Structure 1
Amino acid sequence: TIEPERRALVVVDQRSGTIVMGEDVRISRVAVSQGNLTLRIEETPLAVQPNPFAQGETVIVPRTQASIEEEPGLHIAEIPDGSSLSQVVSGLNALGVSPRDMIDILKSVNSAGALHAEFVVH
């Protein structure tokens, strides 16, 4: 079986506020400040052991915890290396961040060189 290499891609339509991304898009450690939001994402790798006598291999899987708080005043959120962009967007979406603000955040993350994907804006 041949699996094609998937390229990391984020497509933004500024007019409609639509954001489309692949599931494997990652971002590097970066500080984000947007209004009164505090965004924290922690990546803690977890070793998964095979069952005894299964002849499997131990693998390391990512375990991500995300918390977002909305507080008065300006805050800076730090996003660690390897965080999933879809988790960041989901968290911001849950807080009711407008599509325009979310697009501005994604543009800033990309401009900082922290987005590990091709970034296309329409």
Structure 2
Amino acid sequence: MSRQNAENEHANNSLKSKLSFFAVIAVIVAGTAFWYLLTLWASEPVGPEIAKKMAEDFEHECFLDLQDEEQCRKLIGQNHRDCLFDNIEKVEPGMGDNGGNVVHDRDGYLTCMREKTGVSY
């Protein structure tokens, strides 16, 4: 009877070992997939330099039209983010602006800002 118990114990240990191995592999794969998706979701599609440059371009136009710097900054603050994110296109990594994964449509951004703010310069 003890030999049979030893064989059963060996089979149980072998099964537990295999299950533990596959559980560790599954956790590693799931963690890697989660990290990858989180990186894609949380990555900033617009670089701060590009966003600043586009806002400065519109600020110049706005000031020429309204001659009121404070009003222009207020209008930019209210509409900049929406127009900026509405005018980007995801592309293959490395193929976008500054080697990123998005292309910025400057003309689309300026058109959007003009429409939302009423600036007509």
Return the structure number with greater strand share.
1
Larger RCO (alpha carbons 8 Å, 6+ apart): 1
TM value normalised by structure 1: 0.23
TM value normalised by structure 2: 0.23
Return the structure number with greater helix share.
2
Larger radius of gyration: 2
